[in-house]
Homo-oligomer: A and B are copies of this chain.
Amino acid sequence: MHVIIPKNLLAEGISLLERVIPSRSSNPLLTYLGLSAGPGALLLFGSNGEVDLEVRLPAQVSGEGRYLVPSQPFFSLVRSLPGEAVELSLPPGGEPLGGQGTPQLSLSSGRFATRLSAAPTEGYPDLLFPNPEGGEGDEVFPDRVLLPVEELLKVLAHVRYAASNEEYRAIFRGVQLEFSERGLRAVASDGYRLALFDLERPQPFARKAVVPARSVDEMVRVLRSAGPGEAGLALGPGVLALEVRQGGEGALRMAVRLMEGEFPDYERVIPREFPSRVALEVEPFREALRRVSVLADRQNHRVDLLLDEGRALLSAEGDYGRGQEEVPVGLEGAPMGLAYNARYLLEALGPLTGSAELLLSGPKSPSLIRPLGGGGYQAVVVPLRV
């Protein structure tokens, strides 16, 4: 194989694979970067065992080949190459000239030239991508849907924060996606708070799938890099595949292993009746909350809210002293005093800008946060016991 490709294009592709490919692994092959050259394109691929990623880059290719190269030096080199273009070549069949030793990938750019020890792809785990054509022989991915990249991003990015980092109750370390004819919902919770986002766009199949939160991070990163366009989702047994086309011939395919199980019934913790409603401006409220929370007890992060007509008085007291700040809000309903874990409240406000409402079901029962005027996002935060 012989490949000529613009350096910047290669560097962009690599920046996506860099976070997926581990620098150490119990399976050393996973520390390698895969290169696959075929008509008109160079494919880069990698996997950490949880997430498989393949990036297709348009390139001038003659011949074909599929190899693994050590990812660390390849990444470092590509970023710093002196030329505009990069030339990669490997003798046909991957055998070194003379037929002995490991195959050598030649990489050159400007005055710089290198030969990297390559490895054949034997033994590398199969990547779990569906057949891109969706044709015969690919019944393992029966459930497929196309969504605007922007919307899928919104769904994932709004709820990710609420997933758990604890080993305890493993299912909460994932984000549940619920496909149904009503739409696509994402839910995350750590058992103490919950975030959900409803995308009102009927889905062609009904299924639930729990994606590990860390894999959601990679999906978000890939979607952000893709820019406007359409994203294809395909569900197979134990795997969710994501495909994004980029400008020209470029395209990304990602496959993430799903978690086993399903969230416990979370609907019952979402309050439905609210004796008091507070309208607030997210930015100033969040800033005040952040300042006051500096003084909060370092164990429970408790911040008190005294909600009265036209104002919220935030206060906190801990080992360092006491702090307070007043923020203008609009209150409908009875004045109320209650307390929250400041971190949970800050994180629940995290995806929001502009105006929001805090809906209170009582000083000891769950509160709901959502954008004023709706918009799919809802966060449930449970007040601390006073």
Task: Point out residues on A near B: beta carbons under 8 Å.
Answer: 70, 72-73, 76-77, 80-82, 104-105, 111-117, 287-288, 290-292, 294-295, 319-327
Contact = CB atoms under 8 A, between A and B. Distances in A.
Given A82-B287, A288-B112, A291-B77, A117 B325 contact: no
B113 A324 contact: yes
A321 B81 contact: no
25 contacts: A73-B294, A73-B295, A73-B321, A76-B294, A80-B290, A80-B291, A82-B288, A82-B291, A82-B325, A104-B321, A111-B326, A111-B327, A112-B288, A112-B291, A112-B323, A113-B324, A114-B295, A114-B322, A114-B323, A115-B321, A116-B295, A116-B320, A116-B321, A117-B319, A117-B320
Contact of A114 (B81, B287, B324): B324
| Interface-centre pick from A111, A295, A324, A325 (highest chain B CB count, 10 A) | A111
A97 to B, nearest CB: 15
Nearest to A293: B76
A318 to B, nearest CB: 9
A354 to B, nearest CB: 19
A80 B321 contact: no
A112 B326 CA distance: 7
| Interface-centre pick from A112, A114, A319 (highest chain B CB count, 10 A) | A114
Nearest to A102: B321
B113 A291 contact: no
A117 B319 CA distance: 8
Contact of A288 (B111, B116, B290): B111
Contact of A117 (B81, B111, B291, B321): B321
A73 B298 CA distance: 11
Contacts of A291: 77, 80-82, 112
A81 B77 CA distance: 45
Given A76-B294, A320-B117, A325 B112 contact: yes
